[in-house]
């Protein structure tokens, strides 16, 4: 069974802090993704990565960066947290093959005060 693990379920940070959200998958998946989920907006893609050290912007990359130094780990970084980044953050991974679904972690609920 695929396991995608997000380091924290709940996180509270202050405005202006640098915030790191970590995600690890154990199935040797090539692709990894970061989304945020907000009411009425569904899941919006922030960044994704097809391979180690590769990254691509999604729909809402502003205010975020990512790091993929190892295949199993994909980190989301909030450079200077702001209150509008309060959200549920979801990490996912998938095989780089047509028809392969994404597997999600349980999410990190981040509150920026």
The residues binding another protein (CB under 8 A) are: 4, 31, 33, 35, 40-45, 48, 50, 56, 58-59, 90, 92, 94, 96-107
Shortest distance in whole angstroms from residue 8 CB to another protein: 13
41 vs 80, beta carbon nearer another protein: 41
28 vs 59, beta carbon nearer another protein: 59
- For the chain, the distance separating the N- and C-terminal CA atoms, rounded to the nearest angstrom, is 37
Shortest distance in whole angstroms from residue 27 CB to another protein: 13
Shortest distance in whole angstroms from residue 94 CB to another protein: 7
Contact 10, 65 (CB under 8 A): no
Contact 81, 16 (CB under 8 A): yes
Find how far residue 12's CA is from the centre of its chain. Answer: 17
How many Cβ atoms are within 10 Å of 103's Cβ, its own excluded? 17
């Amino acid at each position: 069974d695929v396991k995608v693990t997000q380091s924290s379920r709940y996180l509270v940070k202050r405005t202006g802090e640098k915030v790191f959200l970590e995600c690890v998958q154990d199935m040797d998946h090539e692709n990894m993704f970061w989304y945020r989920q907000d009411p009425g907006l569904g899941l919006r893609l922030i960044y994704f990565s097809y391979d180690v050290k590769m990254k691509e912007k999604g729909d809402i990359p502003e205010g975020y960066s990512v790091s993929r130094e190892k295949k199993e780990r994909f980190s989301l970084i909030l450079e200077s947290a702001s209150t509008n980044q309060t959200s549920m953050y979801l990490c996912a991974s998938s095989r780089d093959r047509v028809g392969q679904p994404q597997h999600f972690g349980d999410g990190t609920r981040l509150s920026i005060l």
